[in-house]
Amino acid sequence: MPRELPVACLSLHPDAGLVPEMPADQYERFLADVKARGILKPLELVPGTRTVIEGRHRLRAATDAGLASVPVVDADLGGDSPVVYMIRSALLRRQMTSAQTAALAVEIEERLAVEAKERQRAGARKGAAVRNGTDAKAPSSSPAPAPSLKSRDQAAAIAGTKPRAVSDAKAIKKAAPEVFEQMKAGKITMPEAKRMVSPAKAAPPAKVETVKIADGMGQAMRAFQKALKMHGDATPEWLEFVELVRAMRRTQKNAEYGVPHSKTKRAEAERPVDDFLSEFDQIERTPQLDFTRKT
């Protein structure tokens, strides 16, 4: 049954800050309603205490409105710890975004993990007491309980979200707590939070501008054919020219696939063609020049 307690004797649970605050404009409307009609729904307390675990904004509004007392009731925790009950109630009572739900599930998971460790320590202490003969209670012969869900999966079930969303939100909290708090407050979405904490991707490489050497290649190849006709079978090896042609073919391949546009790269790409034309100019001036292999 609800009962009245003075506002001054009530206090918030120390972990009340885990639940995001009501938006300012929404709180102003709520405060106006409290001033007009008072507190209609009792605040919920940790059983046997005066600690509020459900009704944070009602307590704040009662204080701001100058109310002397408010209705309260002991919370029916239903097996939950006070913190898990508080977060679960907030999820059921308030309109939360999917990102806020995932963030609160992370808070639940952390609390469940703490409680699990506390149970383990308590069990270890009890086991030690039994072994030392200091525990009056005999050890239970009942089988050990079946292993429960992972804390993450359990938290996801409590919050009504997917385990993967809990993992993503947990990773965001670890990488950037301030971004996590923005997400929990409903200021940003999960995808926005991920982009904020992920390392910036390298900018795509600048578009490659191809070095145009088609005209030079054509000119060089025509010169090579003319040189062959000029010397006929007298100089079958043509070693220098063959190497230049190979270099030009490599250059042509670079041109087809794109050579980064810079003075240095352009010079490297055009040098084999220039060398070939220079060699041909020399052979035209000295037709008797022998290009056979030298031993």
The model's pLDDT over 53-86, given as tens digits with 9 standing for 90+, comes to 999 999 999 999 999 999 999 999 998 889 999 9
The total of other beta-carbon atoms located within 10 Å of residue 66's CB is 8
Look up the pTM and report it: 0.54
**Tokens (6 digits) for 64:** 């701001």
DSSP-derived pairing of the beta strands 43-45 and 51-54: antiparallel
Residue type, 62: A
pLDDT tens profile 189-216: 999 999 999 865 555 655 544 444 445 5
Burial 5-40 (b: 16+ CB within 10 A, else e): bebeebeebeebebbbebeeeeeeeebeebeeeebe
pLDDT tens profile 238-295: 555 556 666 666 665 555 445 455 566 556 656 666 666 676 666 556 555 444 434 3
The total of other beta-carbon atoms located within 10 Å of residue 118's CB is 11
What's the DSSP call for residue 290? -
Tokens 């000029």 belong to which residue? 230
Tokens 């704040």 belong to which residue? 60
What is the DSSP track for 136-194?
A: SSPPP-SPPPPP---HHHHHHHHHTS-HHHHHHHHHHHHH-HHHHHHHHTTSS-HHHHH
Contact call for residues 73 and 42 (beta carbons, < 8 A): yes
**Tokens (6 digits) for 169:** 């939100």
